[in-house]
Homo-oligomer: A and B are copies of this chain.
Amino acid sequence: MYKINENYLKLQGSYLFSNIAKKVALFKEANPDKDVISLGIGDVTQPLAPAVIKALHKAVDEMAQAETFRGYAPDLGYEFLRSAIRDNDYKARGVDIDLDEIFISDGAKSDSGNIGDIFAENNRIAVCDPVYPVYVDTNVMAGRTGEYIAEKESWSNVIYMPCTKGNNFAPQIPKETPDIIYLCFPNNPTGSTITKSQLQEWVDYANKVGAVIIYDAAYEAYISEENVPHSIYECDGAKTCAIELRSFSKNAGFTGTRLGFTVVPKELESNGTKLNALWARRHGTKFNGAPYIIQRAGEAVYSEDGKAQTKQQVAYYMNNAKIIIEGLKSAGFSVSGGVNAPYVWLETPEGMTSWDFFDYLLNNANIVGTPGSGFGPSGEGYFRLTAFGTHENTLKAIDRIKAL
């Protein structure tokens, strides 16, 4: 008789955003006349940039002719895309990354879940609290998290690094030593980030204790301040301790187009085994590449037109962030984030839990946000609004909140 992976039975409830979607669907069903605005899930609203559209059409036309048709892609992804990444995301920032250290994928969510495959079950993970749920849930599935302790809303074998107002939403080196450290900066959900010297401390620590950092830089395009690193490899020694995840979802609006990549430096070794070789094997065996036409779309993001156009998109969303921050402040809320990230993190009004505030906002202002507690126990009392709505909806939403 076959046996299921019982770790799945430990998973708590459903995935956060599925829960929210269900609540919203019920509300809309009961209130078909209400104009619900979502500043909840981190999904973009701006169409793909013209340069990307042009590249997509061109690639589609190539697929229509036998001479230019493309079948299976190279295991790591097409070189035209990996070169563009190497040159623009790394070389331009003074970082040398080799082409065979870049693995093209269908997005950072898949990569952040799948990267666990190359590690043993008996690694202890450390995560920020609050945290993007995928890091924890995929480790629950892999059996690394121990048991769920309901009263603490946390897992017995996970090291939580609280990020709260008290530490300016920056995690501190934990007392217990982790094996795998998940860091995401600019941060989802808090919208905060850390400086290069702060990140250097993490790199030094990881190298010292033999930990590996999974560095999620999905939001790097939103960085507006000078001393904030765009890549962990800007720090000395990061190549011997860090894997970096990148996404096209937020810098170029690819949430429904699906493209990302992971960098695994060849210097990253465990007892002589290169993690690059392990990930190459995983990538080549359990994945078959992102579609050719989507890889061409990714290449176009790095064209001169593409860079200018996607920069405008980012500016559009960051203007929304500014509107949200200023609006909330003037309405008396305590807010953070939104300067180097498309997320604004606000404290719920006194006495309200995150889910109370979710219901309150949905029922009274018809606005969907994300309860901070959905991201971890230290998220309780906080609430996330995203800047990914349209300008018009963002203005309308803030007016409604001010009027509450």
Residues of A within 8 A of B (CB): 1-6, 8-9, 11, 14-15, 18, 41, 43-48, 50, 53, 56-57, 60-61, 63-66, 69-73, 75, 106-107, 109-110, 113-114, 117-123, 134, 137-138, 141, 179-180, 209-212, 253, 255-258, 270-271, 273, 275, 278, 281-282, 284-294, 390
Given A123-B2, A257-B63, A278-B5, are A45 and B57 neighbors across the interface (CB < 8 Å)?
no
Given A5-B117, A106-B106, A291-B258, are A390 and B285 neighbors across the interface (CB < 8 Å)?
no
User: Which of B4, B47, B72, B180 sits near A273, CB closer than 8 Å?
Assistant: B4
Cβ of A258 to closest chain B Cβ, rounded Å:
5
- A138 and B286 contacting across the interface, CB-CB below 8 Å: yes
- B141 and A270 contacting across the interface, CB-CB below 8 Å: no
A183 and B216 CA atoms in complex are apart in Å by 38
User: Which of B15, B75, B180 sits near A281, CB closer than 8 Å?
Assistant: B15
Q: Copy number of this protein in the oligomer?
A: 2
Of the candidates A15, A134, A256, A294, the one having the most CB atoms from chain B within 10 angstroms of its own CB is A256
Could you tell me the dominant secondary structure of chain A's interface residues?
loop
A90 and B396 CA atoms in complex are apart in Å by 46
A141 and B114 CA atoms in complex are apart in Å by 12
Q: Which residues of B contact A290 (CB under 8 A)?
A: 106, 258
- A3 and B120 contacting across the interface, CB-CB below 8 Å: yes
- B47 and A64 contacting across the interface, CB-CB below 8 Å: yes
- B15 and A288 contacting across the interface, CB-CB below 8 Å: no
- B64 and A43 contacting across the interface, CB-CB below 8 Å: no
Q: Which residues of B contact A258 (CB under 8 A)?
A: 106, 288-291
By Cβ-Cβ distance, the 4 closest A-B pairs, closest first, are A113-B286, A1-B210, A3-B120, A43-B71
A8 and B72 CA atoms in complex are apart in Å by 24
- A256 and B63 contacting across the interface, CB-CB below 8 Å: yes
A292 and B138 CA atoms in complex are apart in Å by 25
Q: Which residues of B contact A2 (CB under 8 A)?
A: 119, 123, 179-180, 210-212, 270
A141 and B285 CA atoms in complex are apart in Å by 10
User: Which of B44, B285, B291 sits near A294, CB closer than 8 Å?
Assistant: B291
Residue of B nearest to A48 (CB): B63
- B70 and A209 contacting across the interface, CB-CB below 8 Å: no
User: Which of B14, B71, B118, B255 sits near A8, CB closer than 8 Å?
Assistant: B118
A206 and B68 CA atoms in complex are apart in Å by 45
Given A63-B256, A281-B11, are A1 and B294 neighbors across the interface (CB < 8 Å)?
no
- A120 and B6 contacting across the interface, CB-CB below 8 Å: yes
- A289 and B256 contacting across the interface, CB-CB below 8 Å: yes
A287 and B137 CA atoms in complex are apart in Å by 13
A46 and B68 CA atoms in complex are apart in Å by 10
Q: Which residues of B contact A66 (CB under 8 A)?
A: 45-47, 390
A43 and B296 CA atoms in complex are apart in Å by 20
- B107 and A281 contacting across the interface, CB-CB below 8 Å: no
Cβ of A296 to closest chain B Cβ, rounded Å:
11
Q: Which residues of B contact A14 (CB under 8 A)?
A: 281
27 contacts between A and B (CB under 8 A): A1-B211, A3-B270, A4-B118, A4-B275, A4-B278, A8-B282, A11-B281, A15-B281, A18-B75, A45-B66, A47-B66, A47-B69, A56-B293, A57-B60, A69-B256, A71-B256, A72-B255, A106-B288, A107-B288, A109-B287, A110-B286, A110-B288, A134-B285, A137-B285, A256-B292, A257-B291, A258-B290
Q: Which residues of B contact A114 (CB under 8 A)?
A: 286
- A72 and B41 contacting across the interface, CB-CB below 8 Å: yes
Cβ of A218 to closest chain B Cβ, rounded Å:
12
